[in-house]
Structure 1
Amino acid sequence: MSRILAIGDIHGGFRALEQVLKRAEVSKGDQLIFLGDYVDGWSETPELLSYLIQLKEEQECIFIRGNHDDLVLDWFRTGETNAKWLEHGGGSTLEAYRDVSSTIKDLHHRFLENLTNYHIDEQNRLFLHAGFANLHGPTAEFYPNTVYWDRSLWEMVKAMDKTLSPQDDFYPDRLKLFKEIYIGHTPTTRMGKTKPVNLANVWNIDTGAAFKGPVSLIDVDTKEVWQSDAVYELYPEEPGRNQD
């Protein structure tokens, strides 16, 4: 039976993605929904993007745009850098592309241009990188980049009274729009967790691959989770990273 599998932030950790896909025994019949931030972190961003491009030729994939993906796209477009980006993973991306051909760079440029900002499936489940602030949902955001930068959605569910139900007057209207919401962007390791965290109807699948955590994959129907090893253990030759 085919599955719908959501994959959290990867941050250049190609070895970790290969490992978690193998552990989940992913087949060509499975639909893969990647929640963004493919770049800026470990050394194999070019290899990872080439792999994802090929993967889409072999099975159904949905690639969500993350904030780091947008930053790298801007660098591809303009050639310009800034200190904040370089500090938070951009430096590793620059280094990784130092000897990559212009042909491959152009392919990766087009891949990042064609990412989608969010996906809503037939069961009214929302998949996006970060969150949304508009009470009418991501389609109503005045600034489209909100969906890959927002942290207010996750901060809201962290602060919610856990006893609230959708029938209560104080249950947030934003959450009533969708059956479930799947996000990345804010590592669960900030809460001391190395597995996906579910609060209200929001599932955070970013388990800190950019830092000391693994890449995580979840079956959105059964909620079964598979994980890579901690990504830094797969790159022992590289120093720790500091993405956000």
Structure 2
Amino acid sequence: MDQHPVPRQITTFEFKLIGFLTIKQFIYLLIFVVLAFIIYSVFPIPILNIFFAIITAGIGAAFAFLPINDRPLDVWIKNLARRLISPTQYKFKKHNLPPNFLKDIPNQADPTQVATHVDSRQKLNNYLNKGQATGDTKKQSISNLIQTAVLGPTAKKEEKSSPASSTPHKPFFTGVIKNHKEMPIYGVLIYVKPDEKGEPLRILKTNVNGIFATFNPLPVGDYFFEIKDPQGRHFFDTMKIKVENSNPNPLQFLSKELI
């Protein structure tokens, strides 16, 4: 069986730079030898000055060459002093502030929540107005059918004189929003602005497939696309994109959240 060395304390290991002494050992010996010489020279009693000088030099030698459990003597003295000075009892004192709902101070509304609420209300009004216009169109088509049934083939000929185009209305531009895993994101709001600090000209929202579109044309020019996730899970950069009269290629935006 192979013999392994016994584990030793290596955190206090120092290189021997001055002969067989480390820098710390050399400093301890130098200081205490100088103190021993001063005591020997200054103390008036001949025997006692030798005794105290030997004790002082021995203390320096103990600090330099007498480790206990692989730890120097100065470490033991520092730990002892720290334990004697440190308190033996500790008291818990809570410094946490109480939450706002336990105070009488009214909560201040978050500006982002207020802006989201205003945007949602504006989109709801636009949707209701659009639905009302669609309802009026349906009522008009029903009245036209009734008039056609009453007037007969003469009215049909008059209607044929101004036929409506049967081709579906194509979107002005479309786009798709995805995360860093190329998965579509639902419910993301897209603000189309003429400049970064201007009012949005279009407010769009992605469907379950992450696609958004607008059917109302915009003048040719550069527009800023500011994308926001109402849930705050995805983050996007504001992009400056040039819009033409015809935009056959869909726009694509990727989120930049941390992976």
TM range (shorter): under 0.3
The normalised TM-score by structure 1 is 0.18
Q: Which has the larger radius of gyration?
A: 2
The structure, 1 or 2, with the larger RCO (C-alpha pairs under 8 Å, 6+ apart) is 1
